[in-house]
Structure 1
């Protein structure tokens, strides 16, 4: 049976997210064939502007040889040689750049894999055995024959971006059980140097996506989440620059992102020789994965890329890869509709009449999707009760959801619902019936967060229940969208139904069962789109992105704060996935007042949504909103599918911010510029656009704002990029938006 292109692409993305056996062997859109030179024992992948190479040394270890700018096909890259021993304290095991090192022999560097056998042995030395190439994917088998452990390393290379995907399958081939103490997806090794610096993302609730920079020195930097999910304290993404000159347009940048939505760790090490390694995968904290003879464990996929053209290009490469190869439906994905969410207007006080009134207001503005947030189900009148009881509250909706859904559809909008299916209130019918279904240690406290407990999705009965209630909800109601929330960290992560030596599998089993629920829902209800939300941006990663259509980067909807949040988000993730709402003023976050113009322009840099109470808007507000929604629909293909250029950074509370998005055919560019605070009569900086066709003629028109007198309406791309444009922006919270179009 011939598979539809979008279904095939989704299957590929899911396989990558699960790191299933031979997942990387599926046919990519444009095949890239790895090469093996038998004479030098060198493997090589060439894709985009990148070459990646590794070789087998005389000891049988697989060593990284090169990762950087693309080389000529006949350039020599081997053979691999063992690292020289500096002293008895610095053996070659400590200094060799292994692709995937087991903890064994004289290794003192951070290994990719550490195991212990029931007989007490903890020594593991992985040596090359064989390889195969299948439909553009490379699989290399590493073995410790005596210990009885096989590790299959899997490699893909995206031909358009040069992004490489790496993962591992660990198999117990011995006659005794073993426990995996730690398992990485991959170790990335960079050329020796003493001038590297690291960028990474940190945050907290309502303050996500802060971009941090620090020099890499001898020692380790550890980025991680121990929270059971991705977390917002760190995000599983990194970028490394050589030379210390961080620039959007110039400089060598190595970057990577881990496709995993559970507890994770990325560790950046520099050794005594100036060799930098990045090892990432499952978080080893409280981790223990037992394998009986014949059993296996697949790691997540750890993606990595390289560019010589600065941080801006590093982000654009990752964005292109995400849009084409990670997100459901790939390049055939629908544009994000203009959305309205009723939370700010009603909170838990939802009812049929009130939601219909809001829907009527939203439709008149040009909104395309109406979403009912928390409070529509069970005894859900506050966050203290009802969570887990996914039946319609008949007091609020006497005839179920159908009358409201029909009304929304009649108004020309699709319909969505908020759900939080992984959680339960102790005051709920579900918890009273199944108190054993939550993560817990017997006879210990059960800590609550937001008055809720975490259902243990690792249990097959819990997984089946969650799927069944969501499947029934979607089957019985004509729903097009789910806002899937997740509002607390794990605590007491026990799994009492399992034996003590099996319980720590919960970290892997939970996340894989979550993925399976999402996958099965998408297969059974292909018309339903899903947003990943976790109290804001606490579950944003390439694993969950393979199964959802958009993500919620932060509960903080303050339009000024959002400039920094969105800038940090865009370092790693495509604006096509990023939802941003226009909400009330003054904001609930900072009690800060901003114009509706500023709020709309801030939100139009991603997927546009509205979360304000429309019942309080004046007719002037409605007119303004209609203007911006109409303008957004004319530019959203460029914003969501084009290339993003960060012109002025709002990081570290900077006064200015500016971005531009350029369509793939370079016929349209959209410029957004913001001033948070005016001081000392300073003029707004001249903005020089990027990514335009230098010989094309672009006409400039404004969505809002104006240029200084004398600015031409039409000029070449070269003019707008070299001469630039000066905008009339003055005062606090002023902004401008302009469109540049070529015939």
Structure 2
């Protein structure tokens, strides 16, 4: 990283401009005619020679008549601009007019944050665009804030977190799509003329799409632009190809059915968009995001502590939770080397299936006659932390809470609610809901020394209404609900600072940079089939750090797919992030238990590099053939290589995989056999990816895996 400041005031073609520089990129902004915020350059660093050295792709030549902004890369658009493309701001007055005329007011630099302020003189609306520069990580974090400095109310109908413009070229995108059990499918496509809209209208992040994108010029494998939205509610990312092939990106909370009322003096601020550029392709973009998340996003309390190997009871017990059985599972888990024992759904009153009990959170005396205390004490005696499953945002109609307060769910007074999984959604926009949920969870955490909460969320939203609110505030419910969830989790973290939290939403339905600011870990999918999980984990880690990625070792055949794979293969896939187990360990034979102990011990040795190092996908997963993923420690003195064979194909020749990210001149020793090689050789010639012939039964040869550890070695000669 250059020693120059991260943010420099400069000029560009005579316009006031600001140069934002990181270790990997530069962003040049300027204001034209005192009103249009141009994104003159976003890409490789030009050496910090000043705005003019970046040679703006689209020169600003003021014509004799009104200047049109279509085809011009912009960093902001408002409805009313002569831009003819997706607006980032729509604000309406009482008379219904939503046209804004913004002029640049001022700028300020606060540490490494640039704030550019614009104002609409007719309404008193002030718009602030913030650019926080994470120079060492190659990241710029953007958000927007509006303030009503006028004398009359305003209605915000849309405020994007960020607008990004790229100059004319042919672009393609990578995005993440899927469904329950099949999340995080990496999708690559050329961008056609017009708009491609990525979105969720389900109330939360969703299984179907994720608020992350990456962009490249067609035919170029190096340069990549990327962004990830830190928001767990409805969201929208618009990729609009203009008539001259310039690309216009608008990202933020979804404007669908949502407004925000601004009385004079009130303000409203968006969630941030984390964005960046790299010339190291999609893998390089992922590594920048991973580093940023480890150092700036994931809860600070546990950044220096490796997430524990955990056992979750769900797939061994379902709702049949009994004290004696839980103790037996805990003792077996401790024998294997597990560090955290998590009791999943089924521990509270009325919870013999998914039809009752949500919202009350009272320990079932039939299952735990003496409460949770004896189980918690035994788990701690065994040297493990104790965790528990909760779904605090939901309620069953068959619950004491709903019978006493049926109005506390999201609802409309003249519409019948639509249950999903026999449950409804509590309205966290309401203060009484937030206070009641906080009090119930707080009481549970205060009564017992609970170390971990799996915070689940198992349905999308319908009949989203808030009839108790003033009429002009009711459509704020989409945003206020998510903010309310954040508030409750934040308050619990403040009161119980050592508590770890895992986010789960029917598997991987709520993972984004908003919830990951409050949750240490994330479930990725309810599908634990390791062959499927290779693909899911590949897509997940395009956007999110392996340190947050939970993987489970479960029994064979796997419950979702019915597929049978070897225990070692299941472990090696789950070890790519945060290792968990949810199989019926009481049913594992002695050989399986012995091998599991070895693999857990091996994982603990590798864990610092896996969770804090740089990840490289050397061979992405496919339906058949090899797969390889590598991790390199920050100091580049250690590397871990996972090799997989998925559904082996007869007659294939020998394969090799070339490593990445090593010091070329350093010598590395393979832990298994002492073989020494240089970083240069490992990156140029690689290592053999072949597996020996499988032992009987031969069908296990369809699923082969191994792990190689290479460490820096000082070897003469």
TM-score range relative to shorter protein: over 0.9
1:238 counterpart (213, 223, 239): 213
* 1:226-265 alignment runs, 5 A limit: 226-246=201-221, 251-265=222-236
Aligned to 2:698: none
Measure, in 2, the Cα distance between the counterparts of 1:68 and 1:149.
Answer: 32
Return 146-155 or 631-640, whichever deviates more.
146-155
Distance 1:174 1:79, change over 3 A: farther
Measure, in 2, the Cα distance between the counterparts of 1:402 and 1:120.
Answer: 60
* 1:103-502 alignment runs, 5 A limit: 103-193=79-169, 195-246=170-221, 251-329=222-300, 332-502=303-473
Cα deviation 1:9-65 (Å, max 9, x = unaligned): xxxxxxxxxxxxxxxxxxxxx995411126641111111121111111124222111
**1:668 corresponds to 2:644:** no
Cα deviation 1:180-228 (Å, max 9, x = unaligned): 12110110111221x2110000011000010001112321110000011
Shift of 1:481: 0.3
Distance 1:330 1:396, change over 3 A: closer
Measure, in 1, the Cα distance between the counterparts of 2:466 and 2:401.
Answer: 18
Measure, in 2, the Cα distance between the counterparts of 1:198 and 1:255.
Answer: 9
2:29 counterpart (48, 54, 72): 54
Cα deviation 1:332-381 (Å, max 9, x = unaligned): 43101110001111111111111000000000000000000001112111
Aligned to 2:658: 688
Measure, in 1, the Cα distance between the counterparts of 2:487 and 2:581.
Answer: 31
Name stretches of at least 5 consecutive residues in structure 1 with no aligned partner: 1-29, 707-711
Is the CA contact (8 Å cut-off) linking 2:71 and 2:245 kept in structure 1?
A: no
Measure, in 1, the Cα distance between the counterparts of 2:308 and 2:654.
Answer: 32
Shift of 1:175: 2.0
Measure, in 2, the Cα distance between the counterparts of 1:331 and 1:130.
Answer: 39
* 1:502-517 alignment runs, 5 A limit: 502-517=473-488
Distance 1:196 1:382, change over 3 A: same
Distance 1:408 1:33, change over 3 A: same
Q: Give the SS at the match of 1:536.
A: coil
Distance 1:340 1:415, change over 3 A: same
1:718 counterpart (680, 698, 701): 680
Measure, in 2, the Cα distance between the counterparts of 1:252 and 1:649.
Answer: 19
Distance 1:306 1:105, change over 3 A: closer
Measure, in 1, the Cα distance between the counterparts of 2:26 and 2:367.
Answer: 60
Is the CA contact (8 Å cut-off) linking 2:29 and 2:38 kept in structure 1?
A: yes
Cα deviation 1:268-305 (Å, max 9, x = unaligned): 01111221111100111111222122211100101110
Aligned to 2:696: none
Shift of 1:330: 7.6
Shift of 1:82: 7.7
Shift of 1:328: 1.0
Aligned to 2:584: 613
Measure, in 1, the Cα distance between the counterparts of 2:279 and 2:39.
Answer: 20
Distance 1:378 1:209, change over 3 A: same
Q: Give the SS at the match of 1:494.
A: coil
Shift of 1:171: 1.3
Measure, in 1, the Cα distance between the counterparts of 2:690 and 2:87.
Answer: 56
Measure, in 2, the Cα distance between the counterparts of 1:155 and 1:101.
Answer: 16
Aligned to 1:586: 557
Aligned to 1:562: 533
Query: What's the TM-score once normalised by structure 1's chain length?
Result: 0.91
Q: Give the SS at the match of 1:631.
A: helix
Measure, in 2, the Cα distance between the counterparts of 1:740 and 1:239.
Answer: 32
Measure, in 2, the Cα distance between the counterparts of 1:131 and 1:124.
Answer: 20
Distance 1:605 1:79, change over 3 A: closer
Return 172-181 or 131-140, whichever deviates more.
172-181
Aligned length: 699
Q: Give the SS at the match of 1:392.
A: coil
Aligned Cα RMSD in Å? 2.0
Shift of 1:499: 2.8
Aligned to 1:526: 497
Shift of 1:622: 0.3
Measure, in 2, the Cα distance between the counterparts of 1:116 and 1:684.
Answer: 65
Aligned to 1:35: 8
Shift of 1:680: 2.5
Measure, in 1, the Cα distance between the counterparts of 2:333 and 2:652.
Answer: 39
Q: Give the SS at the match of 1:399.
A: coil
Is the CA contact (8 Å cut-off) linking 2:624 and 2:649 kept in structure 1?
A: no
Distance 1:331 1:470, change over 3 A: closer
Measure, in 2, the Cα distance between the counterparts of 1:735 and 1:470.
Answer: 42
1:740 counterpart (698, 702, 710): 710
Shift of 1:657: 1.4
Measure, in 2, the Cα distance between the counterparts of 1:696 and 1:740.
Answer: 11
Shift of 1:728: 3.4
2:648 counterpart (678, 703, 707): 678
Shift of 1:87: 13
Is the CA contact (8 Å cut-off) linking 2:32 and 2:60 kept in structure 1?
A: no
Name stretches of at least 5 consecutive residues in structure 2 with no aligned partner: 694-700
Measure, in 2, the Cα distance between the counterparts of 1:579 and 1:150.
Answer: 43
Distance 1:378 1:82, change over 3 A: farther
Q: Give the SS at the match of 2:206.
A: coil
Aligned to 2:667: 697
Cα deviation 1:408-439 (Å, max 9, x = unaligned): 00000000000000000000111101100000
Query: What's the TM-score once normalised by structure 2's chain length?
Result: 0.95
Q: Give the SS at the match of 1:92.
A: coil
Shift of 1:618: 0.2
Q: Give the SS at the match of 2:129.
A: strand
Distance 1:85 1:58, change over 3 A: closer
Shift of 1:245: 4.1
Q: Give the SS at the match of 1:502.
A: helix
Measure, in 2, the Cα distance between the counterparts of 1:169 and 1:734.
Answer: 52
Is the CA contact (8 Å cut-off) linking 1:40 and 1:79 kept in structure 2?
A: no
Q: Give the SS at the match of 2:161.
A: strand
Q: Give the SS at the match of 1:542.
A: coil
Measure, in 2, the Cα distance between the counterparts of 1:684 and 1:513.
Answer: 56
Measure, in 2, the Cα distance between the counterparts of 1:330 and 1:646.
Answer: 29
